[in-house]
Chains A and B, each alone.
Chain A
């Protein structure tokens, strides 16, 4: 036990004296959270809209006013029919609303009968499909939605994230990514460094068991990751305003299991890699891709081709991100994430077992 604590102390010194790495490890989560929270967002803001009005009337004036005053729309003024193509091509506008010649008459017809001829046309720049779709949706809501107030067929409610803030979507994703990155990279590199510099030889030619070496390596990184977890949760709650409606205890317990899983993954990588650079490449490149692409962080698992769905099931981040979404945003109870939790625990045990079995106390 004493030798274990001394071991942990030695590992801690390694970390503390490598101030650059420690700084990266502690700052990376902050930067990522702030980046994804503020700078990078999938929300579509500032849709540039111009209008084509063949003949102004009161109805059109009202519609244009509504457009111009909407915070998501930047109103670019009136253009002529001939300028449409040029405006979209030059990128001056993202969308153009063309009103019908007899707009007020058509609207009145709609209001009376609930049906009629086309009264306006949206011409969208669909070179970016995301913003085109979102823009069309906005325009529909602003211009057409109000007109048909009288006979609303469908009523939509956005629960949990009524403003559709993308930060809500990203935070669980970032958590899933960052813990794997930090834990796996740092532990695998720390262990492989000992192999590369030859100190592992000296450690092995001693009465200390490999399990002690490994656990002592993991301990300080576990604590470092707990600090990161606290930072992320605090930032998410107080800077990004994520509701955190779930039970805090469950959030922490599930996250800790995920931390252990990430550390075990780092350990597993270290048993395969012989050079630090290889360990780094495996943990950064090979891990990162599936997490970003397959975990549901960016693209919903439901949309994946059938071939990729089972692949996504073996990406641990998928289950963690799912659990965190439910806990942080939906405020689900522990019972609802039980499946995710059990899968994560199972994966942790399996990876740890393989890694320990793979960790040889000889050089070959």
Chain B
């Protein structure tokens, strides 16, 4: 693929902090006008990759291009073209909403009025409080303000590092709606999140863990690719059940997932036999039902596959 259709191009990027490998030969491409999600738990290397792509950190190995520009040679040009919202709230708490906006606009040599249209749908929600200092805003409002400030210079690529962490469920959902609106206006967005349930809001996702990309695909395909039967199992004593399931030979993998334990069926799996077996071990109210896997199940399966390969 040529860089004309790619917003971000990452080739074998590695980065270590001392002995800790934060990124291990990571490669991915983000197409123009796409919302690409980096999904993974803390320590997956998401923030490090962001910092490398917005040219705050130098990679140890590998190359990358943002908006067709090399992150090493053209880092100054990249800086004026991207919008970056770091994981931590990074606006000035002692400045008002209005002052923060104006400051970030002048930082990029534009005025708030110039690009008002782009931020208007988001900014209108916080505009009534524009005289309030940013430090006294709620989590959701801070996040909206931060997004406005990252957008005010009309970037071509938007980098959002865990924008929904620490934000309530309603605001999170609203936030994703906003991102879809922005995508319609042609922005390419790289967004990271530790919440697996947000993966479905992305066009494509990369599942990552401990500095490695496990798989890249659309959320839909990821789930489709899940080969194996997944069952939800519950009983009265959930903790004892988990132990018994994990030692059961007919179950390949079992983990907690809310109301039901999720169990990946092995080759010798038979629901009826398992139920009997569990009841013999003293479990009451045993319920076993097939379930449709979600991204979290995919992630756990990929992870255990990888561990098996390593062993």
Contacting residue for A10 out of B57, B84, B95, CB 8 A: B95
| Interface flag for A91 (CB, 8 Å) | no
Known contacts A14-B94, A205-B79, A362-B56; A3/B107 CB under 8 A: yes
Q: Is B151 an interface residue (CB 8 A)?
A: no
Report the nearest A residue to B76, measured CB to CB. A207
Q: Residue of A at shortest CB range from B159? A: A205
A134 an interface residue at 8 Å Cβ cutoff?
no
Interface positions, chain A 10-67, Cβ under 8 Å from B, are: 10, 13-14, 17-18
Q: Are B51 and A202 interface neighbours, CB within 8 A? A: no
Q: Please, what's the 1-or-0 string for B79-97, where 1 marks a CB less than 8 Å from any CB in chain A?
A: 1101010101111111100
A197 touches B108 (CB 8 A): no
Measured in the bound complex, the distance between the Cα atoms of B55 and A14 in whole Å is: 27
**B residues within 8 A CB of A199?**
90-92
A10 proximity list for chain B (CB < 8 A): 92, 95, 99, 103
| Residue of A with least CB distance to B91 | A199
Do B95 and A197 have beta carbons less than 8 Å apart? no
Which residues 335-364 of A have a CB within 8 angstroms of B? 362-364
Q: Which of these, B56, B82, B90, B107, contacts A208 with CB under 8 Å?
A: B107
A81 contacts B by Cβ under 8 Å: no
Any A CB within 8 A of the CB of B106: yes
**B253 interface residue per 8 A CB criterion:** no
Q: For B94, give the chain A residue with the smallest CB separation.
A: A17
Asked whether any CB of chain B lies closer than 8 Å to the CB of A249, the reply is: no
Closest B residue, CB atoms, query A204: B56
A300 sits at the interface (CB 8 A) = no
Residues of A281-338 at the interface with B, using a CB-CB cut-off of 8 Å, are none
Chain B min CB distance to A206 (Å): 5
Question: Do A201 and B80 touch (CB < 8 A)?
Answer: no
Total interface residues on A, CB under 8 Å, equals 23
Residues of A within 8 A of B106 (CB): 2-3, 6-7
A198 at the interface (CB under 8 A from B): yes
**Closest chain B residue, CB of each to CB of A15:** B94
Interface: A257 (CB within 8 A)? no
A residues near B258, Cβ cutoff 8 Å? none
Nearest-CB distance from B72 to chain A (Å)?
Answer: 11
Bound form: Cα–Cα A14–B51 in Å: 27
Evaluate contact between A363 and B51: CB separation under 8 angstroms: yes
Interface footprint category on B: 20 to 34
Q: Is A100's beta carbon under 8 Å from chain B? A: no
**Interface assignment of B296: CB less than 8 Å from any CB of chain A:** no
B232-262 toward A: CB 8 Å interface, digit per residue (1/0)? 0000000000000000000000000000000
B198 adjacent to chain A (CB < 8 Å)? no
CA distance A6 to B95 in the complex (A): 13
Q: Report the separation of the CA atoms of residues A10 and B102 in the bound assembly, to the nearest whole angstrom.
A: 10
Q: Are A205 and B99 in contact (CB under 8 A)?
A: no
Contact flag A203-B107 (CB < 8 Å), given A6-B102, A10-B95, A198-B86: yes
Q: Which residue of B lies closest to A193 (CB)?
A: B92
- In the bound complex, CA of A126 to CA of B309 (Å): 84
- In the complex, A14→B100 CA distance in Å? 12
Interface string of B59-85 (1 = CB under 8 A from A): 000000000000000001001101010
Question: Are B95 and A13 in contact (CB-based, < 8 A)?
Answer: yes
- Interfacial chain A residues near B89, Cβ < 8 Å: 198
| Residues in chain A near residue B88, CB distance under 8 A | 197-198
* Residue from the list A2, A3, A13, A206 in contact with B79, Cβ < 8 A: A206
Residue B109, interface by CB 8 Å = yes
| B57 close to A363 (CB less than 8 A) | yes
Q: What is the CA–CA distance of A2 and B149 in the complex, to the nearest angstrom? A: 19
**CB of A181, distance to nearest CB on chain B (Å):** 23
Kindly list 14 other residue pairs between chains A and B, CB separation below 8 angstroms, not including A13-B94, A362-B57.
A3-B106, A6-B106, A13-B95, A14-B92, A14-B94, A18-B94, A197-B93, A204-B56, A206-B80, A207-B80, A363-B51, A363-B57, A364-B57, A364-B58
| 10 pairs of residues in contact across A and B, judged by CB atoms under 8 Å | A3-B109, A10-B92, A18-B94, A197-B90, A197-B93, A198-B89, A202-B104, A205-B54, A205-B56, A207-B109
Enumerate the 4 nearest inter-chain pairs by beta-carbon distance, A residue then B residue, closest first. A207-B80, A198-B90, A6-B106, A198-B88
Q: Please report A residues at the B interface, Cβ cutoff 8 Å.
A: 2-3, 6-7, 10, 13-14, 17-18, 197-199, 201-208, 362-364
